Amino acid sequence: MDKNIINLTINTDLTRQGLTGFIQSEMTKTGYKRAVVGLSGGIDSALSCTLAAEALGPENVLAVRMPYRTSSQASLDDAQKVIDATGVQSLTIEITKMADSLIETFPDMDKIRRGNIMARCRMIVLYDQSVVFKGLVLGTGNKTEILLGYTTLFGDSACALNPIGDLYKTQVRQLSRALGVPAAVIDKPPSADLWAGQTDEDELGYTYAEVDKLLYLLVDKKHSSDECVDAGFPADFVTAVIERMRRNQFKSALPPVARLG
């Protein structure tokens, strides 16, 4: 297979129907009728929020914005565009004091540690609000991030159910356009907004468009690394992605439990 002919296009009508149905059925199983979503201003959380509003009704969805002092105003504004477009309930809770109480204890802390602390503070806020709102926390991680381990364990990966976890980033963009997610959210460079100027693709070292195609061959089509190289992917790129998946596999699995005979 030639990488240039790999097509990740989805049927957006069927996908929309399937994902809203998934949210409704999973809610029914648990006895809940409401959902809580952490809304960052990025495309993934925007799509989860939009799907939840359609599946449950906007009055049954709480979108929570959780800025840190270095968060960009543009991210807050983009999150507000999603709130306005969907009509969901919303709340803004700043996490600066919460995060800084630990961050300032270690002045030499690097940005990765700081970012992980912010992500886990947001998880605490979401689960606290889930008690108040009586709703389940919805996940906002896409398939690309999950496979690459580009997530914080017990941070942004923590959720009760995830409607978009089987969509590659490329497909998230496609479905978001079909559902009317604001263009400003779809078109901007993906970023967790954990520090100024941060973008996902700069951190990863490759574009989502390119890695999605490789992951599709490796995971969905179960091609070998040699077959992926033959398809036109650079050998060092294939090796790096496979190693990253191997190294981060523990993030998407339940912790191993020692069994006593």
Task: Count other C-beta atoms under 10 Å from residue 107's C-beta.
Answer: 6
Report d(CA 257, CA 22) in Å as an integer: 29
Paired sense of beta strands 35-38 and 89-92, if any = unpaired
DSSP assignment of 111-127, as one string?
Answer: HHHHHHHHHHHHHHHHH
**Helix or strand or coil: residue 129?**
helix
Q: Distance between the two ends of the chain, CA-based, in angstroms?
A: 48
> In a 3-state reduction of DSSP, which class is residue 106?
coil
Catalytic (active-site) positions: 44, 145
- Cβ neighbours of 70 (radius 10 Å): 14
Distance CA 122, CA 93 (A): 9
- Cα–Cα dist 74/200, whole Å: 17
Alpha carbon separation from 138 to 78, 114, 161, 195 (Å, rounded): 19, 24, 5, 24
